Amino acid sequence: MSYQVIARKWRPQTFADIVGQDHVVRTLQNAITRQRIAHAYLFVGPRGTGKTSTARIFAKALNCTGGPKVDFDVKDPACVAIAEGSHLDVIEIDGASNNGVDQVRDLRDTVQYVPAQGRFKVFIIDEVHMLSTQAFNALLKTLEEPPAHVKFVFATTEPQKVLPTILSRCQRFDLKPIPPELIVGRLEQIAAEEKIKVTPAALACIARLADGGMRDAQSIFDQMISFCGAEIAEPDVLDVYGLVGADKIAELAGTLARGDQKRMVELVDQCDAAGRDLVRLLADLQAHIRTALLDAIAQGGRTAALGGAPLTTEQLTRLLDALREGEGGVKLGLAEKINFEVTLLKAIEASRARAIDSLIKELAALADEAPAPAVAGDEKKKD
């Protein structure tokens, strides 16, 4: 067989293989078990979170031998045909390249024919938001009252572009970004099967890069195998993708918390000289400070998680807000390093500033606690 990339080789084949989408898996399994299968489903979520894979697995459960059933055999000929894309009754359509009204009319005509192999005709339309308004309208009536043997499964990353009249005819499932720890666990399993030695720190870096997408994580892991061979360490991932290590991110966040401008500039110089991605560093820095903000909220409004003097939730919020405001300049500006340094300096100043309303509240509280001034008449009475 020809070489297959890890993202394809390790694509989920059963409901048990789907990672991080337990709410979707449970609902679909219950629908199949209780014979409450709707005629149209919409899977929504970021890229690489399992929308199309879930749709194929659902199609396998519907059209497997003796189905519909949840615990189908992946070696069943019908399931193998669906996985290979050769099943006559599971039709996958790319919404981006088949977005015209003529293609949808052809689909509408095809719907009338009974299944050739399985129990249901399943139409999987990927990137459904790319269909034109005319194409959506041509689909409406069929989607609302399709023949009993037809099931529609739509997938999209941009549900706001799908017509409300389409949304109201579908059961919607929102697939969420996959947590880093689940990505790491899946990559550990793949590494063991592929006989690749990879350090936990390297896997954590890959999961951080993937931003909740399992497919992205697997593609990055595949590239690292090509770069490193059978052993992957954290410095390799940092070098290939221009990432900054977690320890240096923590140190940089600490300089912002302490207001140590000199050390902050030195760290930025080091990162720039090493060819690190400053845009990515800004995002990682915000994530680190957000963790400190959550800690401050949990501890009653103050935390020393960034090192140095404890910071209040107000200071951390101002720090994060300044970093967020500087994103555009760092991403799109002509002088990336200068804009990055200015953003950090502004963040330091913002964290040191105090809101007028909070100062007024503190002064009012002090005034209430202060003892009342003595009156001249009262002193005479005492004499």
* pTM recorded for the entire structure: 0.81
Q: 255 Cβ partners below 8 Å, 6+ apart?
A: 261, 263, 264, 267
* pLDDT at residue 383 tops 60: no
Q: How confident is the model at residue 373 (pLDDT cuts 50, 70, 90)?
A: low
Secondary structure string (H, E, C) spanning 245-263: CHHHHHHHHHHHHHCCHHH
* pLDDT at residue 378 tops 60: no
Domain ranges (residues) in the chain: 6-174, 180-241, 246-363
Q: pLDDT per residue over 219-264, tens digit each?
A: 999 999 999 988 999 999 998 988 888 889 999 999 998 888 999 9
Ranges of H-type helices in the chain: 6-9, 22-33, 51-63, 77-84, 101-110, 133-144, 164-167, 180-194, 200-210, 214-228, 234-241, 246-258, 261-273, 278-298, 313-325, 327-332, 336-352, 356-369, 376-382
Q: pLDDT per residue over 307-358, tens digit each?
A: 777 888 988 999 999 999 988 889 888 888 999 999 999 999 888 876 565 6
* pLDDT at residue 196 tops 80: yes
CATH 2.30.30.100 fits domain 6-174: no
- Tokens matching residue 100: 């015209």
How far is it, in rounded angstroms, from Cα 154 to Cα 202? 35
Weakest-pLDDT range from 7-21, 24-38, 94-108, 171-185: 94-108
What are the C-alpha distances in Å from 358 to residues 315, 347, 369? 12, 19, 17
Q: What is the pLDDT of residue 93?
A: 87
372 or 274, greater pLDDT: 274
Q: Report percent pLDDT > 70 for the chain.
A: 94
Q: Which class is domain 246-363? A: mainly alpha
Q: What is the pLDDT of residue 232?
A: 93
Q: What is the pLDDT of residue 135?
A: 85
Q: What is the pLDDT of residue 145?
A: 85
Q: What is the pLDDT of residue 95?
A: 83
What's the CATH number of domain 180-241, 1.10.8.60, 3.40.190.10, 3.60.150.10, 2.60.40.420?
A: 1.10.8.60
